[in-house]
Structure formats: C-alpha cells, structure tokens
Amino acid sequence: MTAGLVRPDAGDVRVGGVSLFARHDAVTAQLGAVLEGSRNLYWRLTVRENLEYWGAMRRLSMRGARRRADELLELVGLTDRARNTVQTLSRGMQQKVALCQALMHRPHVLLLDEPTLGLDLESGEGIKRVVRQLAQEGTAVLLTTHQLDVAQELSDRVAMIRKGRLVLEGATADVLARYSQPVLTVMAARPWPADVAVRLAGLPAVVTGADTLSVDLADDRGSTLYEVLERLNPHPLLKIERHQADLAQVFQEVMGEGLRDAAATPAAALSAVPVREGGMAP
Amino acid sequence: MMGLFIAEWRRMVVEAVRYPLDTVSGMVTLFMLFVGLFFGARYITQSPVGGGRLDTVVLGYAVWMLMMAATSDMGWQIQNEAQNGTLEQVMLVPWSSRLVFLVRGMMAIVAFLVPCAVIIAGLLAITHAHFVWTPLALVPMGLVLATAWGLGLLVASLGLLIKRVGQMMQIIQFLLLFVIIAPIAVLAGLGWHLVAMLVPLTAQVTLLRDLLNGVAVTRWVWLEAVVNFAVTMIAGLVLFGGADRLARRRGILGHY
C-alpha cells in the first residue's frame, strides 16, 4: 500500500507532503522498493541489463543508468557478476541486485519487504550493511519483516501492525526500555550454597535456579545490589545483567494484550515495521 | 519517453536473441501450422485452396500472425510477469501503466516484423504465391496493427484482473481467424456496417485484402476501418485504466 500497489479504502500515503494517489508518477519517482522473494528482476537478463532496464524505466538516461549501475554493483560487491544472467546467481546475490534496481534512481524513500529472509549469513549481513549506509546518507528506509532480530538491529523507529491496525509505534530504544523490567539476574560460577535463601532474607531477591537468582529493583534506592552481593560474598559469581527486552518479547507482550483485548478474535499475525528516518521531507 | 521505448526494445531483443530456440521454435510452429492447414485442406478438398487466390490466403495468414503478436503478447506478458513477479515492479515505475503496456505492445509488433517476414518468405516459397504491394496498403496495414494494439490492451486489462489468460488467448486466436475470413465489412445494410465498426479488425482486414487484390474499396469500408480502430483503441485505453484501478483497489496486482 505504501508503494501504491494496493489502494486503501481510506487514508493517504504522502511523501514529502505529496499524495501518492493524487500524483502517482511524481511520488513513485521518489520511491524504490524491493518486494519479498525473487520478484524484482528479469531472470533471463544479465545483472547489468536488468539495472540499465530499470534505470531507464525510472527516467534515467542510458548513459546515466550505466554509470549508476557501476556504482551500485561496486557498493554491493557484484561488479564481477555484471555479465551473469540473474538466474545463475545465488539467492543472496539476486537480493543484492534487487536492492540495486530499487536504488537506480536514488530514491528518497526505500521500501524493503523481508530483505534478508532466506539469505545466508554473509548475504544477510551484506544487505544490512548497505541498508545502514543508505540510512546514514539520508535515505528513509521503511522495512517490513517478521525477523524481529533484524528489525531490532536496523531500526531507529519501530511499529507493529495487527489486523491492519497500528498497535505499537515509537523509537526502538524507547519501546525496548518500556518493555524491559527493573530486574537483575545474578549468575553464580557454581551452585548456590544450601542457606542462600536464608542469607537473602529481607531483601527483594529470589532464587530462580541452582545457580541463578533475580533481584527486583522496583523500589531500589541504589543500594539493593550491593546488599545482595554482600550477603552472597564470598560465593564466586559469573555474571550480573539487567533485564533488557528484545523485540521478540515486545511482540509476545503486544500479542498477549491483543488476545486479552479481543477474546473472540483469533490470533492475528503481527509484522514489525522498523523505520529508519532519513532524508524524507516532513 | 524515448528511454522507455529503448528500454523495452532492448529487453525484447535481448530475450529473443539470448534464447534463439524459443524464437525459432515459435517461427517454425507458425510455419508448420500454415503448411498443415494449406496442404491438409488441398488434400481433403482435392481443389486449390482459396479459390486459387493463394496471395490472399498467405496475406490473411500473415495478418493473423501480426494480430496474434500484438494481442497475445500483452496477455502472455502480464501472465508471465505476474508468475515471475516482475509485474508489481513494472507498476511501480513513474510512468502510467497504460503507457508502459502501449509501448510494450508496439515493441512486440516491431520485434515480430523480422520473424514474420521470414515466415512469409517461406510461405511464398512453398505456395509459389506473390504479392503485388501497393503503397496505399500501408494505411490499412497500419490500421490493422494499431487496432490489434488496442485489442492487446483489452486482453491486458483482463490479464491484470484474472492473470491466467492462456485459455482466453486460445479463443482469441480463433476469433481473429474468423475476423480474417468473414466478409462482414462488405455486407450491405446499416446493421452490418455497425457490426463491422464494432467487431475489432473486421473492416481493416477487408480493406487491406481488397486493396492488395485490386478490388474497388467503398467509402463505407474505409469509414468502418477508421471507426473500428478508434473504438477498439479507446475501449482498450479506458478498460486498461479501469482494470489497473480495480486491481489496485482489490489488492490483486501481485496475485497469480
């Protein structure tokens, strides 16, 4: 819908204040999109032929398209594959070429749908590196994915949509902080002594495993951890870490809230929409 | 705009040249189909095909091939692109989809001219027929191709909505064959004139055939040919625009 391939029943998509549905050609000239799967390229054409074709289709001159194709192939490290037909490339390479075709006309807004799905580690990292670079250079990147680790890693802002409704939206760091709990986990190097619970009596600490315990900092005035450590001394410790929610946990929380909100509604799919803000005009 | 033409031209030529077996097998199929029809009909009827007017038979077949290239190419392209997934990217370029598919239709015809000429040369060689070409025939020939182009847009409109147009293309092949054979445009009476104006290509084919055969062409046939072209092209443009909007509203552009 943000690309204009689906027309909404109501509402609008605006880029730089201009309506996509009122001025389709002007706005799509500002958009680049990599759609999910291998749906972006002509498999019988070579990498270079594809890029030159899509460049010309986006109003670049043939010379300009050729020059831009060279730049982009260098960016994604596929210069030596320029003469190969797309069907002979690996899935990861095809995805990089698909990204290049979306960037041929230097769009202000880049739409990425599951850009790293099904890719090997190296290809996935390559795509993420390019996305980060584009965002740093001022391209607004709207990435939709069900891979929440990718969303968390790449996004400045994140949104979750359930059944077509926005159920969560905010700066990624703020969202993660909101769903993190004021709890410390203390991990010992070997199992706790038998009297550990007695030693911790009166403190907001609970033994959660043979070698782990959690400390509730909800009412902490700054000294709770030190008091706990003093009582555990001299038992060897391995690690102390504060609870930090990840997007997968946020997703589960939001899904849980949704199920509680609408008991009669079946579980709905959620998609995380990380947004990296860049050069798009307000 | 020129970039759009060049890009589509290059894509078509590259695909045709890179996979010559596809191109050549398509040409051989069309050639063999004619040979089968021609010699089969002569064997069964034990009489000359086309009442001895072999040039008319070959010409009709040539026009049918060009019409097929213009109409079916649009339908097949949309089906293939929906299947391969490039259709959505095509709909994302900053040109109107109508213009993109018009250019594609035109390039399909231009790209088919050379294979078509080779097939016709082969047909003339085996039938010993020959054409007497008159420059005046360029106008009806242009009208035939331009109308087929509009018809291609109509097929493409359906392709956008239903994607699988294979069966429909089979039916259209036979309808086009009927259009070439049926002399609707020369039938007397206002009703038949209206039919000739509305059924795509009937008048244009008659006009072309009569001009090349040296038959006197009435003003009615000229009028029918021009009106028929205009009606088909406008219907194609309007319906394609409507199909595009409907497909986007229903969210089925990417469906296959």
pLDDT score of A16 more than 90 = no
> How many Å apart are CA B10 and CA B53, to the nearest integer?
39
* Residue with more model confidence, B49 or B140: B140
Do the beta carbons of residue B213 and residue B221 sit within 8 Å? no
Which pLDDT value is given to residue A271?
A: 41
Tell if the CB–CB gap between B86 and A37 is shorter than 8 Å: no
* A-chain residues near B3 (CB < 8 A): 56-57, 59-62
pLDDT tens per residue across span B49-75: 655 567 777 878 888 888 888 777 788
Partner B contacted by A43 (CB < 8 A): yes
Which pLDDT value is given to residue B43?
A: 78
Which pLDDT value is given to residue B49?
A: 63
Confidence band, pLDDT 50/70/90 cuts, at residue B2: confident
3-state DSSP call for residue B94? Answer: coil
Distances (CA, A) of B120 to B58, B105, B115, B175: 7, 21, 9, 22
Confidence band, pLDDT 50/70/90 cuts, at residue A51: very high
Name the one residue in this structure whose structure tokens are 């469906």: B255
> How many Å apart are CA A143 and CA A130, to the nearest integer?
13
Q: Which residue of A has its CA nearest to B247?
A: A6
pLDDT score of B176 more than 90 = no
The predicted model scores a pTM of: 0.81
Nearest to B88 among A5, A49, A61 (CB): A5
Average pLDDT over residues A160-180: 89
pLDDT tens per residue across span A150-168: 999 999 999 998 888 889 9
Nearest to B7 among A7, A39, A53 (CB): A53
Which residue, A202, A201, A205, A198, is CA-closest to A184? A205
Average pLDDT over residues A95-119: 92
pLDDT tens per residue across span A52-78: 999 999 999 999 999 999 999 999 999
Which pLDDT value is given to residue B64?
A: 84
Confidence band, pLDDT 50/70/90 cuts, at residue B48: low
| Minimal CA separation from B35 to chain A, in Å | 32
Tell if the CB–CB gap between B6 and A62 is shorter than 8 Å: yes
Among residues 78-107 of chain B, which lie with CB inside 8 Å of chain A? 84-86, 88-96, 100
DSSP state of A27: H
Residue-wise DSSP of B29-67: HHHHHHHHHHHHHHHHH-S-GGGG-HHHHHHHHHHHHHH
Nearest to A58 among B86, B94, B245 (CB): B94
Partner B contacted by A18 (CB < 8 A): no
Do the beta carbons of residue A36 and residue A146 sit within 8 Å? no
* A-chain residues near B86 (CB < 8 A): 39-42
> How many Å apart are CA A162 and CA B205, to the nearest integer?
57
| Minimal CA separation from B241 to chain A, in Å | 13
Average pLDDT over residues B206-219: 80
Which pLDDT value is given to residue A277?
A: 46
Residue-wise DSSP of B183-201: -GGG--SHHHHHHHHHSTT
